[in-house]
Amino acid sequence: MEKQDVYLEACLRAIEKKLGWGDSSDWTGTDFQQLSDRIYEATKVMLSASTLKRVWGRVKHDGKPATSTLDTLAAFLGYENWRSFVVAQQQAAPMEPPAKLGRKKRLLRWGLVIVALVSIGFATYYRGGKEDGGGDNEVGTVATASPDDYRFSSEPVTRGIPNSVIFTYDASRAQIDSVFIQQSWDPMRQEQVAKDGHKHTSVYYEPGFYIAKLLVGQQVVKEHPLLIPSNGWLGMINRAPRPIYLKPADYLHPDHMGATTVAIEANQVSLTPDPPMVKYYNVGNFEPVSIADFSFSARVRNDYAAGNNACQFSQVMLITDGMPISLLLSSKGCVSELALMGGGRSVSGKHEDLSAFGVDLSDWVTVGCRSVDGKLVYEVNGSEAYVLPLGPEPVRIVGMMFLFVGTGSVQAVRLQEGDDTAYRAF
């Protein structure tokens, strides 16, 4: 292995460790898009998902990465440029040639990655925030200040998306200067703030339920829930560094919701070779519904099967003030890539039989979920598809989201609490 290849492998391993997303051989197309977003946020340099796939060996490419690409990867790790990264490696210790990345294992797993970030994030929220109060202290003196010594609150400036949030904080009694505000459960969404300051603003580009955190070092000293609502239905095309918002006329129709391929391409978005993800949100527009006694149903259809979108992955998610309730659908041959969430648990099609969620998405599919005797019952076309424990948390539904790889349509949305209708559309 050439020396540059050795250092490149070391760089990729360091990035994988920084992200904490698990074995990169299990990353999928949207993981690379998420990494592209993170790199842009940190360096203000755009490396496309396609470029990153080539660097990681997921796409066959005989050439070497450009110097500008290597400089950006090094900058993401905190180095001035690629040369400084290499010098640091040379000064550390003699480097053994690492094993080549397992390309044979690296298959695209679109479906699982659609919820991967959410799964990881909310698992982090439950483990790191809700149960044990955060990570290890940066230094031993951080914990000498009581949480009562800190103040932390927030206020959105408008209703709708995008939405800036004004955070008000007081961390003046912190024992160190490393004070951060974290927008949500995602530790990559941290920004350092002045210890003696009191105001900080952040922009939220997607609606949802978030847990905002004030950290001193790596310790969460204050946190609070933050609901970012949508103004009715919001349609968007997932793009970095910011989504493309669709005009209501492009996707809202009297009897269904859905953007056509023409509407997507009118926004200068190509559906080939990698189709985009199209999302429809409705958050904070109905009274919260307890999952202890609810039922939900909708009809969905994936309207794009060309190119490499044979799996037609489609997601239905109920956004809650805890872990979301989510299911994925695909064509029958792709069920291995599916996943479920609910009741504080996530289930992978790699380890469980989720074949009931493999359907013909060229036609309308009725999906549903309801609580029955302490269980979450998932249904597809009127038949029971999977059952999960409801979980002990008093969770409430505050919104919903539909996601389609390519594009898709939704109709007959119904949400009930007991015998009362909480929300209905189309």
pLDDT tens, residue by residue, 216-232: 987 889 999 999 999 99
The answer to whether residue 294 scores a pLDDT higher than 90 is yes
- Spatial CB neighbours of 270, under 8 Å, sequence gap ≥ 6: none
How much is the average pLDDT of 40-47? 83
Single-letter residue type at 89: Q
Asked whether 403 and 277 are in contact (CB, 8 A), the reply is: yes
Q: What is the pLDDT of residue 92?
A: 58
The answer to whether residue 111 scores a pLDDT higher than 80 is no
Token look-up 């918002």 returns 245
The answer to whether residue 37 scores a pLDDT higher than 50 is yes
The confidence band for 4, taking pLDDT boundaries of 50, 70 and 90, is low
The answer to whether residue 285 scores a pLDDT higher than 90 is yes
Q: For the ranges 188-192, 250-254, 370-374, which has the lowest average pLDDT?
A: 188-192
The confidence band for 400, taking pLDDT boundaries of 50, 70 and 90, is very high
The answer to whether residue 108 scores a pLDDT higher than 90 is no
Report how far apart, in Å, the C-alpha atoms of 28 and of each of 56, 239, 320, 345 are: 11, 16, 26, 21
| β-bridge pairing 408-417 and 294-302 | antiparallel
What sign results for the dihedral spanned by CA atoms 254, 256, 261, 267? positive
Q: What is the pLDDT of residue 86?
A: 85
Q: What is the pLDDT of residue 367?
A: 98
pTM of the model: 0.69
The more confidently predicted of residues 62 and 309 is 309
Question: Nearest to residue 218, comparing CAs of 178, 185, 270, 247?
Answer: 178
How much is the average pLDDT of 61-72? 81
User: Which tokens is 181 given?
Assistant: 């505000």
Angle at 167 between CA 162 and CA 173, to 5 degrees: 160
Span 335-392, pLDDT tens digits: 998 989 898 888 888 889 999 999 999 999 999 999 999 999 999 999 999 999 998 8
The mean of the pLDDT values for the chain is: 84
Count Cβ neighbours within 10 Å for each residue of 372-409 and write b for 16 or more, e otherwise: eeeebbbbbeeeebbebebbeeebbbbbbbbbbbbbbb
How much is the average pLDDT of 9-27? 89
Q: What is the pLDDT of residue 186?
A: 67
Q: How many CB atoms lie within 10 A of CB 24?
A: 21
Asked whether 319 and 95 are in contact (CB, 8 A), the reply is: no
How much is the average pLDDT of 230-250? 93
Q: What is the pLDDT of residue 95?
A: 40
How much is the average pLDDT of 12-39? 88
Report how far apart, in Å, the C-alpha atoms of 421 and of each of 173, 232, 288 are: 49, 17, 12
Residues in the chain: 426
Judged by DSSP in three states, 123 sits in helix
Asked whether 31 and 38 are in contact (CB, 8 A), the reply is: no
* DSSP 8-state symbol, 126: I
| Spatial distance between the Cα atoms of 108 and 310, rounded to a whole number of angstroms | 12
The answer to whether residue 53 scores a pLDDT higher than 60 is yes
The confidence band for 3, taking pLDDT boundaries of 50, 70 and 90, is low
